[in-house]
Amino acid sequence: MSIVPAWFLPFACIGAALLATLALAARFTPGAWWRRANARALAVLVLGTCVIGGALWWIAAPQGDAPGGVSVVQAAAAHDAPLPGRSYRVADALNLRAANGVGARRVAVLPAGSVVTATGVADGDWWQVRTLVDGQPFEGWASSLWLRRADERR
């Protein structure tokens, strides 16, 4: 746990970036730019502060952490993961594969409109599903990009 509150870090990065921008601008820009306020000087300050502040934030921010100690990838995966037992409809002809990935052996071809049931196992965009094809039960992997919730309207 950090001694500094979480809300303080962005302000510290912007403040440090502003000071660094002022120091760099004083060193590397013509003195005439700073004798009176003008758009060019304002642009240098704003752009410099944004670029340097963004870099400092990227370096200083806790990488991959979201509120609650869950990584951003885990939070996205939990949101996108198929619910076990939920039915999905195939949007277009879809290859059911033995493993995830386009290089895996094709188990069956599911015609558009087929209904599959998610097992709850996912690996990125690939979901493990169960279905019936011509009365035969199949289990395999399908790209979730071609699946729509069965209760979803077009």
82 and 57: one domain? no
86 and 143: one domain? yes
Burial (Cβ within 10 Å: 0-12, 13-18, ≥19) of residue 10? middle
- Could you tell me the two tokens for 63? 């990488």
Number of domains in the chain: 2
Residue 67 lies in a domain: no
17 and 45: one domain? yes
pLDDT of 69-112, one tens digit each?
A: 444 444 444 446 788 889 999 988 999 999 999 999 999 999 99
Instruction: Tell me what pLDDT residue 108 has.
Output: 93
DSSP 3-state assignment of 30? coil
In contact, 45 and 22? CB cutoff 8 Å: yes
57 and 82: one domain? no
pLDDT band at 3 (very low <50, low <70, confident <90, very high): low
Higher pLDDT, 3 or 109: 109
93 and 144: one domain? yes
Residue 135 lies in a domain: yes
86 and 128: one domain? yes
pLDDT of 137-148, one tens digit each?
A: 999 999 988 898
Residue 68 lies in a domain: no
Full domain range(s) for residue 95 = 77-149
29 and 92: one domain? no
Q: How far apart are CA 154 and CA 151, in angstroms?
A: 10
Degrees to nearest 5, angle at CA 56 with 75 and 31: 150
Strands 147-149 and 94-97 turn out to be: unpaired
Residue 66 lies in a domain: no
Residue 2 lies in a domain: no
56 and 86: one domain? no
Task: Please check the confidence at residue 34 and state whether its pLDDT lies above 50.
Answer: yes
12 and 38: one domain? yes
